[in-house]
Chain A
Amino acid sequence: MSPQQQFIAFKTLVRKEIRRFTRIWVQTLIPPVITMALYFVIFGSLIGRRIGEMGGLDYMSFVVPGLIMMAVINNSYSNVVSSFYSAKFTKSIEELQVSPTPNYIIMLGYVCGGCLRGLLVGLIVTLISMLFTDLQVHNLFVTASVVFLTAFLFSLAGMINAIFANSFDDISIIPTFVLTPMTYLGGVFYSIDLLPEFWQGVSQLNPILYMVNAFRYGLLGVSDVNIGVAFAGIIGFLLVLLAYCLFLLEHGKKLRN
């Protein structure tokens, strides 16, 4: 396949993914927006007033970047995990497997679909957050690159989950038992400075902490972690998942009999 043909295959796959999540927009775009709006009202507006300041900021301002990232993480992941597993389940993945489309294009097509849904939901949540607080952008490059890399990373993670999944139960186990606790404990709602030293150390093993804080730095200019370390961690983790995902596709793990 020439590079031009590969690009056509990639565009086809991305278009198909966009069509999928926009066709079922009531399931894919509306629920995260409602959930996040409730977070803003309850945690930010109602409880937040009683909390006062967090990390030197009023609580609503503090919590907004984390909630945007939470929406991006969940939607990037769930888009790819459900789309790719459904393709496996219905065997429509064979349409791609019999074609000359290289595995890396298949991976990038699905991941790009996941990123687009994650970023679209993130954008909608950002717009809603502006009803509750004045949103400033401290560093546009950091903000944009962190949100994109995070969406990419969790799309890849969703794809790996889908490759291993044998049933629809398997695609909800990781989001429920791993992703949600990691997100809640990843500094979305609090600064890790509040934690005892031991738990601060434990929190620093959580990759979501670095993503949330790097994004918070991009918007507000404050962070619990070093931004350079955060970028290095995100990129390193992303490269590992990228290589692993390609390895699984090349070897047909759980895809070819």
Chain B
Amino acid sequence: MSVTPLDSKVALKIRGLQKTYGKSFEALKGIDLEVARGDFFALLGPNGAGKSTTIGVICSLVKKTAGTVEIFGHDVDRNFSVAKQFIGVVPQEFNFNMFEKVEDIVVNQAGYYGLPKKLAQERAEKYLRKLGLWDKRDTQAKGLSGGMKRRLMIARALTHEPQLLILDEPTAGVDIELRRSMWEFLQEINEAGTTIILTTHYLEEAEHLCRNIAIINKGEIAENTSIKDLLKQLNRETFILDSRTVLAQCPSVESYNLHQVDDTTLEVSVEKGQSLNTLFAKLSELGVDIVSMRNKVNRLEELFVSLIEKVEREGADAAPTKPATTVKRA
């Protein structure tokens, strides 16, 4: 097999990417995006924001209207054969022949990347074992459970050992236990050097796995930063506090907005810079003994919602004066 040297430090580089469906629906409005080699990158956005269209363009499943896409420095239009060697894709929907056997699906995919049959069979065994599907290798794909089908798509995407793995909502509809094991597996391959781009609706997943994030909304990048920096923007968090004893009434603590949920549960909204130690000390003085504490909602989820709301507010404010965008079809 010919091996093309990977000398680019940028795994994915998108410039001015536009996609217009029909004559007027702009799914992507000229997005710019860069993902560093070795990164674990989250692409988040509400339904219809343009995540899957972006992935579709990267993988040549969707024709772009304008812009450029480079994979490790190789333009997907001018050097498509080399660029595609580096990508593995796990799409949102099942896209394999349900009547084919599990092993055949993975071996065939390796063949489409030019891997000799013996090597393809070795790779298929390696990844089917890792993903707990080896026992099902002779089963027709239609006989797999939903979670197994998702894992099969991951095994298929890894069979040519891509440098960039793109996963479009890989854990949708997967139970918690399996999701956790998939997280571990993805972390393992990321640590081994594979760049991963992930779209997900589970924001906990992005917070847990990814180092950098882009939030896309209505075809535009609303935010592109590290998860750490993004979470720093969070001004307020809500905590649930569990009391050891039954509370006769909601305790009152100056500058803390406490609310009693039930006999033993309190809810408090804490602003950035406010000390939780002070709150616990004051509650202790009032005879309230807190035994456990947790976030009311996922932190990233709070931020995500506020960001999307902010972008939409700004969009609505700017709309009357915003000039119409002319999109040139490539």
Contact = CB atoms under 8 A, between A and B. Distances in A.
Interface of A: 1-2, 4-6, 8-9, 11-13, 15-16, 19, 23, 86-87, 90-92, 94-102, 252, 256-257
Given A16-B100, A257-B63, 10 more contacts: A2-B1, A2-B114, A9-B112, A9-B114, A12-B107, A94-B61, A94-B91, A95-B95, A98-B60, A101-B112
Contact of A256 (B62, B99, B112, B117): B62
A100 to B, nearest CB: 4
Interface string B100-128: 10001001110111111100000000000
A257 B62 contact: yes
A8 B116 CA distance: 7
B113 A99 contact: yes
Contacts of B114: 1-2, 4-6, 8-9, 100
B97 A90 contact: yes
Contact of A90 (B56, B87, B98, B111): B98
B131 interface: no
Contact of A98 (B89, B93, B104, B108): B89
Contact of A102 (B81, B87, B95): B81
Given A87-B97, A90-B96, A257-B56, A12 B108 contact: yes
B2 interface: yes
- In this complex, the member of A1, A6, A86 whose beta carbon has the largest number of chain B beta carbons within 10 angstroms is A1
B112 A96 contact: yes
28 contacts: A1-B85, A2-B1, A5-B1, A8-B111, A8-B114, A11-B111, A13-B111, A15-B111, A16-B104, A87-B97, A90-B97, A91-B91, A91-B94, A91-B95, A92-B95, A94-B61, A94-B91, A97-B59, A97-B60, A98-B60, A98-B61, A98-B87, A100-B85, A100-B112, A100-B113, A256-B61, A256-B62, A257-B21
B112 A12 contact: yes
B84 interface: yes
Contacts of A2: 1-2, 114
A102 B112 CA distance: 10
Interface of B: 1-2, 21, 56, 59-63, 80-82, 84-85, 87, 89, 91, 93-100, 104, 107-109, 111-117, 156
Contacts of B97: 86-87, 90, 92
Given A5-B1, A8-B116, A9-B111, A98 B99 contact: no
A70 to B, nearest CB: 28
A23 B61 CA distance: 29
A157 to B, nearest CB: 23
B156 to A, nearest CB: 8
B60, B82, B107, B108 pick with most chain A CB within 10 angstroms: B108
Most buried by B among A19, A23, A100: A100
Contact of A8 (B82, B84, B115): B115
A99 B93 contact: no
Contact of B99 (A13, A23, A96, A102): A23
Nearest to B1: A5
A86 B109 CA distance: 17
A100 B95 contact: no
Nearest to B115: A8
A151 to B, nearest CB: 24
Nearest to B21: A257
A92 B149 CA distance: 13
B139 to A, nearest CB: 14
A23 B114 CA distance: 25
Contacts of B84: 98-100
Contact of A95 (B2, B56, B81, B96): B96
A98 B59 contact: yes
Given A99-B84, A99-B109, A5 B2 contact: yes
A243 to B, nearest CB: 21
B175 to A, nearest CB: 25
Nearest to A87: B97
Contacts of A97: 59-61
Which of B59, B95, B116 has the most chain A CB atoms inside 10 A of its CB?
Answer: B95
Nearest to B93: A91
A19 B99 CA distance: 11
A100 B109 CA distance: 11
Contacts of A9: 111-114
A12 B111 contact: yes
A91 B141 CA distance: 14
B253 to A, nearest CB: 56
